[in-house]
Structure formats: structure tokens, C-alpha cells
Amino acid sequence: MAARRVVVFPSSAELGPVLAHLVTSQAEKAISSRGRFTLGLSGGSLVSMLSKELPVLPDLDCSKWVVGFCDERLVSFDDPESTYGLYKNQLFSKVNIPDCGILAINSCLPVNECAEDYTCKLKEAFPGDSFPVFDLLLLGMGPDGHTCSLFPGHPLLEETEKIVAPISDSPKPPPQRVTMTFPVVNSARCVAFVSTGGSKAPVLKEVLEAGEGSGFPAARVLPTSGELFWLVDEPAAASLTIQVERLGSGAKL
Ligand SMILES: O=C(O)[C@H](O)[C@@H](O)[C@H](O)[C@H](O)COP(=O)(O)O
């Protein structure tokens, strides 16, 4: 595994622009070497952060982006709980990602079929990869240590074969979701967690300081050969005793 970087910002106001720069610099790198940029999005506070920061970047060109979802709630796209629906209204409407470059679930299907359908879409978008290799996955972490829709103690944590798994007993509503599995997450070239707020402090300490032994799903995100960033704010970092980097808004990672 490549080295992990834990970077602490005074608040999410300083973190946002640095995250946007990470996204665009990974995009440039990917497009110049492979002709496209594959990005996996998560919900939560990432939606508003990315929607605020990306569209204001001068000369942002997303015409070669392919965007998937690290997990998705199985609700219709016009439901306020739909991660796709939120991104559509807040981000996709403002940047030029081609419609064919957005890999969304089919929310009309029952959960098992929905996961199979999304698996097919990912396989088509990543021909030849046994697990899709995304250039960048953006992840959040809940105060319970979940990431994607991989929840503490859930059997899906042990999934080794599927690319996408259905879940119908999510402890966090809505109960029906589809999620990328750890083999996909850990195949990515770069993974960046964004975690802010004091409610994350105890779990962040466990995840970063006890690692996999903590048992928290977020601690199992250890890209096999990719980079791993933890971008956090001071309140989330309040209990950390490990060495961290401290950066402000003009910084580049
Ligand atoms: O599907 C969900 O229920 C959310 O998307 C959830 O998984 C979220 O990503 C994390 O709880 C982190 O949330 P924050 O980004 O708000 O910290």
C-alpha cells in the first residue's frame, strides 16, 4: 500500500478548494495517460462541497470524465434522499460531464436486480478489469465508521467476489441500497476520504490509530497500490495523537 496522508484543515471552508484541486489534478493526470478520468462519488456533505467548489473553477472541462457512485440509496431520482438526484441538481447541471459518462443505478429495479444492473454498467465501463480501477474515489465516513454502504458488523464487509452488492437492511435509512465492495474500493488508484465535524472525532481516532483492528469499515479502506488521503477538519481531528499535516485553502496536495 502507498503511504497514507492525513491532512487537517481549519474547517471545511479551507478543505473544499483543496479537494477540488485534488480532483482536477487527478483528472489531468488520468486524461493525459489514459484519455479519460474515472471518478466515484459518495453522498453526504461531499455533494454540497463538490457542487460549491467545482463549477467555479476556471476552464473546468469534464468532457472526458466518467462518474460512478460508490454507493446509492434505492429511491427514485426525484426523492430528496437520492444521491444521484442531489448531484444532478447541484453539480451535473453546472458542469459538462456527458450524460453517457454518468453511471447511475436504475432506481426502478428491485434491489438485487439493481445491483446486477449497476455491476453490468461498471463492467462495460471498465472492460478487462476484474474489479473496476477508478482513478479517484471520494468517500465519506459516518459517525459509526461506515463508508459506502458498508456498515459495521455487516456480512457485506467480507464480500470478495462481487463488484457491487445489494443491501436491504441498512441500519441507516433508507434500508435499501447498492454499494461498491471493498475489492473495488481498494483497487482504486487514489481514494480520498472527506470527514468533517466533531461527531467524527472518536471514530476517526480509532480508524486512523488502531487501523483494521478497530473493526470499523472505514479502516478497511487500504488501496492495494493506490494513494490514500484523509482530508479532515480540526473538530474531526481533535482526538488524534498521530502525526498529521496541517494545510490551508491555497494548498495543493
Ligand atoms: O448514504 C448515506 O447515508 C450517506 O451518504 C453517508 O454514507 C455519508 O456519506 C456519511 O455518513 C458521511 O457523511 P458526511 O459527509 O456528512 O460526513
The pLDDT, as a whole number, for residue 2 is 62
pLDDT in single tens digits along all 253 residues of the chain? 567 999 999 999 999 999 999 999 999 999 999 999 999 999 999 999 999 999 999 999 999 999 999 999 999 999 999 999 999 999 999 999 999 999 999 999 999 999 999 999 999 999 999 999 999 999 999 999 999 999 999 999 999 999 999 999 999 999 999 999 999 999 999 999 999 999 999 999 999 999 889 999 999 999 999 999 999 999 999 999 999 999 988 888 9
Cα 178 to chain centroid distance, Å, stands at: 14
Q: How far is the CA of 140 from the centre of ligand 1 (A)?
A: 5
Q: What is the pLDDT of residue 248?
A: 84
Q: What is the pTM of this model?
A: 0.98
Residue 121 contacts residue 178 (beta carbons within 8 Å): no
- Which bin fits 3, alpha (ψ -120 to 50), beta or left (φ > 0)? beta
Domain ranges of the chain: 13-228
pLDDT at position 161: 97
Nearest ligand 1 atom to alpha carbon 143: 11
- Cα(143) to ligand 1 centroid in Å equals 9
CATH 3.40.50.1360 fits 13-228, yes or no: yes
- CB–CB of 54/91 below 8 Å? yes
Report which ligand 1 atom has the smallest distance to the Cα of 139: 9
Distance CA 138, CA 96 (A): 19
Question: Contact at 8 Å (CB) between 235 and 198?
Answer: yes
- The best mutation among 12, 41, 50, 141 to test binding of ligand 1, ranked by most ligand atoms within 8 Å of the C-beta, falls on 141
pLDDT of residue 1: 59
**Distance of CA 128 from the midpoint of ligand 1 (Å):** 31
Q: Which residues line ligand 1 (CB under 6 A)?
A: 42-46, 71, 73, 140-142, 172, 195
